[in-house]
Structure 1
Amino acid sequence: MRYSIKIGEQTYSVELDNLEARPVVAMVNGEKIEVWPEEETPVALPEKPADQSSLRQSDNRPSEIPLGMPPASSRGVAAPIPGVIIEIKVAAGQSVNRGDELCVLEAMKMKNSIRAGRSGVIGHILVSTGDQVRHNQILMEFTD
């Protein structure tokens, strides 16, 4: 399957083969990347969608992926992609509003702003600058 994915102002051409294989092989702008998805919650993948009109395959309409935007009820901010923390913009005890930049994660030589998915007070920062993080790893938690 081929997709156009937009992250911030950058658009990527992504081609995925077998999503059930380990590792999943993705071609991102012509570069081969092997991904080892973590399966914390079982997800049932459809065998073959009945209506393929809902899929956005190679139609040149990029998907918008909001990085670091967990559900409003979430206490933790998870890494949306694997990478390296290159800057932390907040401190424990600091109040933040939805959309505020919390940290910067570098992945594939791209800097990605991780933003607050809700307003609240930062309780714990679980990473440091220079840390390598996994997909879905909790980076920081809100107090409430």
Structure 2
Amino acid sequence: MKSYKFKVNENGYTVNIKSHEDNIINLEVNGTSYAVVMKEEIKKTKTPTLVRAASKRPSEPLKVNPTSSKTTIVAPIPGVVLSIDVAVGDSLKVGDRMLVLEAMKMENNIVCEKAGTITAIKVSVGQQVLQNEVMIELG
């Protein structure tokens, strides 16, 4: 299996590991065979697994008040604005894409959830936004 060379007190040793099962290792030192019993079983190293704790509160859906005259579109997650597909004065219907937000190397389309006209755009392309930051206002 594996071969090692050691030098102890100016004496050379060649150690060949023949087999390893549970806590018994069969090896050969300078041509002489030995069976070595380990006191403890050798633990196999594992790649650590990162575990993310569950959120304490449920995610909040975008709340749109249908009777309100002004609606704000906020960032659902922190990210970078990749593109803005609307301009002030544009009339939108439900489902129209307003902008693309990149978060965690994924592109997220932010769509209109209430028909209306764009009254203000509070972000620009390349800008970083935080969660719940106002990006667009509809009137």
Is residue 16 from structure 1 mapped to residue 77 from structure 2 by the alignment?
no
The CA RMSD over aligned residues, in Å, is 2.7
Q: How does 1:67-86 map to 2 (within 5 A)?
A: 69-73=62-66, 75-86=71-82
Amino acid at match of 2:104: M
**Matched residue of 2:113: which SS?**
coil
Q: How does 1:1-144 map to 2 (within 5 A)?
A: 15-17=52-54, 19=56, 69-73=62-66, 75-143=71-139
Give how far 1:117 is off.
1.1
Structure with a larger share of its residues in strand = 2
Output the CA distance in 2 between the equivalents of 1:142 and 1:85.
18
Partner residue in 2 for 1:28: none
Total equivalences in the alignment: 86
* Structure 1: tracts of 5 or more residues without a match: 1-13, 20-44, 46-54, 56-64
Q: Scaled by the length of structure 1, what TM-score is found?
A: 0.53
Output the CA distance in 1 between the equivalents of 2:98 and 2:131.
17
**Matched residue of 1:118: which SS?**
coil
Output the CA distance in 1 between the equivalents of 2:73 and 2:63.
6
Between structure 1 and structure 2, the one with the greater Rg is 2
Relative contact order higher in (CA < 8 Å, ≥ 6 apart): 1
Q: Scaled by the length of structure 2, what TM-score is found?
A: 0.54
Contact 1:70-1:77 at 8 Å conserved across structures: no
